[in-house]
């Protein structure tokens, strides 16, 4: 579902032809959306037949049967289509055309090693309150997701925010030039995807700084002053002509976090944030309880300000923005004799987000035990085993009672744990899941975290299946 407003048709076949340089075959059509996947296609969508493991052309007939208005294709297909040499390149051109036909839209871009998706969606919540808006859905942040999100942007959009990710150097720059943001945020930089960077974390920082290459003249760069790579990012932003706005805990930050106090109880989970925004005191509540949301909320405020959103709307958005599935969402799971609380952090993990999640878990009061189920953090290169073993310290600091580990890299952590903290080890998430389920008791806090590729979500699903559950 496209999270945007605008009642007019999104694209006519004539506009698609003009944007892509293609040729219409069949009857003219009007599209109200753009899709690359028949599993999420809605009637009226333009279906883009991309290549891949399965050739999108194989699904055009199915798309038409589901109500697609037409297709963007490189060979003859069923129904009306705009024929182009390369559908992905045509999708990119369509995205650029969408940007150019909406010159009034102020655009934001969010990147960083941790928190991209949650922060992007929190910014989108603010844009929604301020007027006609558009944003990325889920984690549509790569060479397909970014042009797709652009191509879905209605012509009457007033504000938009895009998530931009990467695995290698050189991936962010072309996407940033495609979006041409008026404001660009780097949430933080840490040891993520380092196996793809011979120079390690500094290479990651330089890759994130590529986002400034697309900034509109005089655009705003929102930077984390607490991050060790702040000076590098600030220099790159200023080289691009950006106005730098900072968030952090130190004096002099445009958005300074003073205190973050989470509360968990019968009245619901929330946190009280105390801050100084451009030197003025600002206290407000948010529904997020993870410690990292103190700084995240500062970043969101600066991004929304750069996109001309009123502070009142920004605070209202933060006050109602709930944790996303797999990124801190909580579920009360009923079991015999009571219930335990599941904290689902299963969408992704790296050393930075893992340390933050464990610190948040340790800060919580509980009548029961603190239990964690962890799967491998991926793409860490030759230091992968060491990064995993090093989690033993934050686990101890968080006073975690039992640790369940799954995956070859997590074996390094399991071996580093004292015997009193060891829950169990298995090679896969599927094997560890029933062991975690058997261990969970009423009153426990159970957190699941790991990289998406190591299937941590299977453990969370197995725990939810123990009872009817109540979303927190």
Residue 22 backbone phi and psi in degrees, to 5:
-85, -170
In this structure, are strands 329-335 and 470-471 parallel, antiparallel, or unpaired?
antiparallel
Task: Return the percentage of the chain with pLDDT > 70, whole number.
Answer: 95
Mean pLDDT (the chain, rounded): 92
Confidence of residue 1 (pLDDT cuts 50, 70, 90): very low
Residue with tokens 């300000």: 305
Give the range with max mean pLDDT: 258-272, 337-351, 403-417. Answer: 403-417
In the predicted structure, residue 471 carries a pLDDT above the cut 60:
no
Low-confidence winner among 37-51, 173-187, 344-358, 456-470 (lowest mean pLDDT)? 456-470
Rounded-to-integer distance, Cα 204 and Cα 232, Å? 11
What is the pLDDT at residue 111?
97
- Span 256-275, average pLDDT: 87
- Span 231-241, average pLDDT: 97
In the predicted structure, residue 467 carries a pLDDT above the cut 70:
no
**Nearest of 254, 183, 187, 189 to residue 214 by alpha carbon:** 183
Confidence of residue 432 (pLDDT cuts 50, 70, 90): very high
Token pair of 386 as six digits: 């060491």
Confidence of residue 353 (pLDDT cuts 50, 70, 90): confident
| Angle, vertex CA 52, rays to CA 49 and CA 56, nearest 5 | 25
For 27-77, write each residue's pLDDT tens digit.
999 999 999 999 999 999 999 999 988 899 999 999 999 999 999 999 999
In the predicted structure, residue 240 carries a pLDDT above the cut 90:
yes
Ranges assigned E (strand) in 106-182: 106-111, 133-135, 159-163
- Span 310-319, average pLDDT: 97
Rounded-to-integer distance, Cα 200 and Cα 48, Å? 37
What is the pLDDT at residue 267?
64
| Global pTM value | 0.81
- Span 328-333, average pLDDT: 86
Rounded-to-integer distance, Cα 354 and Cα 156, Å? 40
- Span 391-401, average pLDDT: 95
For 210-228, write each residue's pLDDT tens digit.
999 999 999 999 999 999 9
Find out whether 62 and 48 touch, Cβ atoms under 8 Å: no
What is the pLDDT at residue 350?
85
What is the pLDDT at residue 65?
96
- Span 433-438, average pLDDT: 94
- Span 172-191, average pLDDT: 96
User: Higher confidence at residue 101 or residue 265?
Assistant: 101
User: Higher confidence at residue 451 or residue 2?
Assistant: 451
Confidence of residue 453 (pLDDT cuts 50, 70, 90): confident
What is the pLDDT at residue 28?
97
3-state secondary structure (DSSP) of residue 18: helix
What is the pLDDT at residue 142?
92
What is the pLDDT at residue 468?
54
| Angle, vertex CA 404, rays to CA 402 and CA 406, nearest 5 | 165
Domains of the chain are: 11-85 (3.40.1390.10), 102-320 (3.40.1190.10), 329-471 (3.90.190.20)
What residues are paired with 447 via a beta bridge? 343, 372
């Amino acid at each position: 579902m496209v999270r945007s407003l605008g009642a007019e048709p999104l694209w006519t076949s004539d506009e698609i032809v003009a944007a892509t340089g293609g040729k219409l075959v069949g009857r003219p059509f009007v599209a109200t959306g753009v899709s690359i996947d028949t599993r999420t296609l809605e009637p009226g969508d333009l279906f883009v037949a991309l290549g891949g493991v399965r050739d999108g052309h194989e699904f055009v007939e199915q798309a038409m049967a589901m109500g697609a208005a037409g297709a963007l294709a490189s060979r003859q297909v069923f129904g009306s289509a705009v024929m182009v040499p390369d559908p992905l390149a045509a999708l990119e051109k369509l995205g650029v055309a969408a940007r150019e036909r909406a010159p009034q839209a102020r655009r934001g871009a969010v990147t960083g090693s941790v928190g991209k998706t949650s922060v992007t969606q929190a910014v989108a919540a603010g844009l929604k309150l301020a007027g006609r808006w558009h944003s990325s859905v889920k984690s549509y942040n790569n060479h397909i997701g970014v042009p797709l999100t652009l191509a879905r942007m209605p012509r009457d959009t007033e504000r938009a925010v895009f998530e931009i990710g990467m695995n290698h150097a050189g991936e962010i720059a072309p996407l940033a030039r495609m979006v041409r943001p008026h404001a660009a945020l780097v949430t933080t930089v840490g040891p993520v995807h380092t196996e793809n960077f011979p120079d390690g974390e500094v290479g990651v920082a330089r890759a994130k700084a590529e986002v400034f290459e697309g900034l509109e003249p005089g655009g705003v760069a929102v930077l984390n002053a607490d991050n060790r790579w702040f000076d590098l990012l600030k220099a790159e932003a200023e080289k691009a002509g950006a106005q730098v706005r900072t968030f952090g805990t130190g004096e002099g930050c445009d958005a300074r976090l003073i205190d973050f106090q989470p509360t968990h109880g019968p009245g619901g989970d929330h946190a009280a944030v105390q801050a100084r925004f451009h030197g003025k005191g600002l206290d407000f509540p948010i529904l997020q309880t993870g410690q990292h949301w103190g700084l995240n909320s500062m970043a969101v405020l600066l991004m929304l300000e750069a996109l001309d959103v009123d502070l009142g709307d920004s605070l209202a958005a933060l006050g109602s923005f709930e944790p996303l599935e797999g990124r801190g969402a909580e579920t009360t799971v009923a079991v015999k004799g009571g219930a335990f609380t599941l904290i689902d952090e299963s969408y992704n993990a790296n050393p930075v987000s893992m340390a933050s999640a464990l610190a948040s878990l340790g800060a919580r009061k509980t009548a029961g035990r603190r239990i964690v189920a962890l799967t491998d953090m991926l793409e860490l290169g030759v230091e992968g085993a060491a990064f995993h073993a090093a989690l033993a310290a934050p686990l101890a600091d968080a006073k975690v009672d039992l640790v369940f580990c799954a995956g070859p890299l997590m074996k390094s952590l399991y071996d580093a744990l004292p015997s009193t903290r060891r829950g169990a080890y298995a090679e896969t998430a599927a094997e560890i899941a029933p062991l975690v389920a058997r261990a969970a008791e009423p009153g426990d806090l159970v957190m699941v975290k790991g990289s998406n590729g190591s299937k941590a979500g299977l453990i969370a699903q197995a725990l939810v299946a123990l009872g009817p559950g109540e979303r927190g």
